[in-house]
Structure 1
Amino acid sequence: MRSLRSPRPLTGAALCAAALALAAPAASAGDFGEVEASPQPARAGSSVSLTTRDCGHSRSATVDAGALGGGTATLRPGGDGGALVGEFHVRPDTRPGNYGIAGTCADGKDLTGTVSAGTVGAQGRPMPRGAVRTGVGPTAEGADATEILAGTGLMLAAAAGGTWVLRRRHGGGWSGRRPG
């Protein structure tokens, strides 16, 4: 006699395939243009120039730089090769990191980009990155020889103690047999 299988796995697979097939055209339809920002990284409190060549024949674009405190920047013709250019100011208290910016060309095409914000110290040199030695936790430089030796010693002591306990439970050997 032939057993009947449940149609649920087949139905689920068919529904997944149909959903993927329907989503594929939508995924490729959203071609995004790119907005380039310079300088990279941008300093807190400085100006950032934006450039795009992806607006085709559009004469303007707007870019939202609110994440960096720049509000909305308008890009106008002014670059070589039909590029649209504009600028915004980075808020002075902006924390270092990567920030997404997004905009729209006058013809409706979407634009995206990234602005890296960093901090700059005296004489225009980048501020140092990494951990500060506070006496607690790991640091960017790694452990020194004393810490490595202390950790190794603790590991060996734990291994020796565990071996001693196991040997004692098994009655003097690893075989598990009691002397008799």
Structure 2
Amino acid sequence: MRRTAARLLTGTALAVTVAGSAVTVAFAAPAAPAFAGTGSSGNGALEVYPATVTPGTQVTVNTTACGAGGTAAGDASAVGAGAFVLAPGTHEEVAVGQFRVPPGAQPGTYEIVARCDGEVSGPQVSGDLVVTLTSTRPPVRPRGSVKTGVGGALGPDPVQTAAGVAALAVAAAGGTWLLHRRARGDRI
């Protein structure tokens, strides 16, 4: 897992002055903004999409740190997905790769790393992937009809629908006639 606090402190200088019984604390901001996703090259970050996933989800990563036509060797072994390749994408200077989060992945924050040109000395970039057990997407509601083989009053064939309605009307009329005769005492 990533040590975010250590990275945040490396981008900020802290000065403490003790004069007598008074303590003065001063913070100095870095000359360039510290971005948690940048690697040692500082040329770009490893963007992870979607950043929050459930186990079994396909994840896409991309970076501009490798330059035009650059490739990278990705490593998602922290989450259990192993190695993957980033290749030049459709946009200029963007390397893109994909991996699938294993179904047995545990919830947590994982660091995904890519090294440009697949070399040990190449620039390294990283990004965070958050695995949860609940989906952040809204549930999909079912639409349409279910094929049960029984049919329905609003089926696709109007002739069959009319025949079914007529059969129900005849049965209702016959049942009413029989009940009426029985109430009068007529023998059937």
**Structure 1 length normalisation: TM-score?**
0.48
Larger radius of gyration, structure 1 or 2? 2
Q: Greater helix percent: which structure?
A: 1
| Larger relative strand fraction | 2
